[in-house]
A and B are shown apart, each in its own frame.
Chain A
Amino acid sequence: MTSTPRRLDRRPSRTVPASLLALFLLVLGLLGIGVLGARMVDGAWPAWTAPSMDAAGDLRLDSAPVATAAAVLVVVGVLLLLAAALPGRAARRLVLADETVGETAVSQRDLGRHVRRRVERADGVQSARVHVTPRRVEVDVLCPLDDPEPVRLHVEQAARDAVDTLHPVPAPRVRVRMRRAR
């Protein structure tokens, strides 16, 4: 057992690229075991791969297909390296720091949902969409009024209040965009 728990606002675990890589390795490995194993036992390629293997064997290393394979490997290698090296955006953020030792966190999605619920209670709001980034909370409001500007003040206040109740760290800026419902 670890002596300390993992942080709640940890960076993403890179599950998607790791799973894709795992599937690729598994398929490649099984294919290799089947084809190369048959070659090792029988001394010949399996019938269904023989034409492809013969064609691949005849390729010169300076041919276009080999150059393409090299380019694909470069792209794949760089993508894998970026997936590993870039920290990625944390799915949670720290909120409500208090005197009790430890931390409190909420997911970015829940923060967005929390803000949206508060905004949709404001007068003159038909619906709202909220997008949360580490630095900003962007609120996109659909308003049935011809002139939606007077509603903006209420929406901004509601969104700011919703964010302030959680005291997120760092505190994001609230940006409201009003759109008229057709």
Chain B
Amino acid sequence: MRSISGARNRLVLIVASVVALAAAAWLGVAVLDLTARWPQAEALLPHADSTLAAIAAHHRQWLLPAAVAVSLLAAAVGIALLLAQVPSRPAATTLRILDADGIELGSLEPAVLERVLVERLEALAGITDASVRIGGAASSPWLQARVTLADDAEVERAAGEARRMLAEDTSTVLGTAVQRVDLLLRLGGTAAPAHTTVEPAAPGTAAAEPAPA
């Protein structure tokens, strides 16, 4: 399942809030004229009667290049943060099946197993759509699946069957118990497709001709 890193977003928001509050504090020192009340910090704190032009002139050696560098950094962070809002998922790695001695018996692309599991899920009663994601190593795989249930599906039974089937089928293929099976249910609101198949009648057994009197 695709996701966005909440931890990264929160970290960036905290850093931005600290920068904003620090800038506010620096301006607040000047607005409240704290330099007059605390002369020891005169070298560090701004004066209330200073102008922005005077401060810029005083630090002209480094202020302009630094401001350009900060602008470049801000634009780069902005682009990176925007791109980070596109949901993504880690690249799948090939599942390598080993024997007891650690010798590779074979390998399996996760996408192949995922496709099979999706087909198996969609064959279950009440499930109209499904997607499966396999992660971890072949020795400790985990699965995350998303299934859409029909409006008239028995939710508890369908979800239980789906998770059981995912765990058992994966264990059978990889020869190891799954680490976890997570299932996201979507209660779709559409009717389940009627899985009714009409077999073509075999010759000779078709609608019997009425016997001549």
Is A153 close to B, CB under 8 A? no
Question: What mask results when residues 180 to 191 of chain B are scored 1 for a CB within 8 Å of chain A, else 0?
Answer: 111111110100
Contact indicator B179/A101 (Cβ below 8 Å): yes
**Would A60 and B85 be within 8 Å (CB), given that A5-B182, A36-B68, A70-B28 are in contact?**
no
| Chain A residues whose CB sits within 8 angstroms of the CB of B189 once the complex forms | 113, 117
Contact indicator B24/A77 (Cβ below 8 Å): yes
Question: What mask results when residues 48 to 64 of chain B are scored 1 for a CB within 8 Å of chain A, else 0?
Answer: 11111100100000001
Pick from B1, B17, B47, B187: contact of A61, CB below 8 A. Answer: B47
Contact indicator B49/A96 (Cβ below 8 Å): no
Central interface residue in B33, B50, B68, by most chain A CB within 10 Å: B68
Contact indicator A57/B78 (Cβ below 8 Å): no
Contact indicator A33/B75 (Cβ below 8 Å): yes
| Smallest CB separation, A103 vs chain B (Å) | 5
| Chain B residues whose CB sits within 8 angstroms of the CB of A79 once the complex forms | 17
**Would A28 and B74 be within 8 Å (CB), given that A78-B17, A84-B14, A92-B184 are in contact?**
yes
Among the stretches A7-15, A131-139, A140-148, A171-179, the one at the interface with B is A7-15
Pick from A13, A17, A37: contact of B5, CB below 8 A. Answer: A13
Is A18 close to B, CB under 8 A? yes
Contact indicator A18/B13 (Cβ below 8 Å): yes
Contact indicator A5/B184 (Cβ below 8 Å): no
Contact indicator B71/A105 (Cβ below 8 Å): no
| Chain B residues whose CB sits within 8 angstroms of the CB of A15 once the complex forms | 4, 9, 85
Q: How far is the CA of A76 from the CA of B22 in the complex (A)?
A: 12
Which residue on B lies nearest to A3, using beta carbons? B136
**Would A26 and B79 be within 8 Å (CB), given that A96-B156, A102-B183 are in contact?**
yes
Q: How far is the CA of A100 from the CA of B186 in the complex (A)?
A: 19
Contact indicator A83/B156 (Cβ below 8 Å): no
Among the stretches B89-97, B99-107, B118-126, B198-206, the one at the interface with A is B89-97
14 contacts between A and B (CB under 8 A): A3-B136, A8-B144, A8-B182, A17-B13, A23-B78, A25-B78, A26-B74, A67-B27, A70-B28, A73-B27, A85-B14, A105-B182, A106-B185, A106-B187
Which residues of A are at the interface with B, using a C-beta cutoff of 8 A? 1-6, 8, 10-15, 17-19, 21-33, 36-37, 39-40, 56-62, 66-67, 69-71, 73-74, 76-81, 83-85, 92, 95-96, 98, 100-107, 110-111, 113-114, 117, 165-167
The 4 closest A-B pairs by CB, nearest first: A29-B75, A32-B71, A26-B78, A57-B53
Q: With A29-B78, A62-B33, A81-B14 given, can you name 12 additional A-B contacts, CB distance below 8 Å? A: A1-B135, A5-B133, A5-B142, A22-B77, A32-B67, A32-B74, A33-B75, A60-B48, A73-B21, A76-B20, A113-B189, A165-B155
Which residues of B are at the interface with A, using a C-beta cutoff of 8 A? 1, 3-6, 9-14, 16-21, 23-24, 27-28, 30-31, 33, 46-53, 56, 64-65, 67-68, 70-79, 81-82, 84-85, 90-93, 133, 135-136, 140, 142-144, 151, 155-156, 159-160, 163-164, 167, 178-187, 189
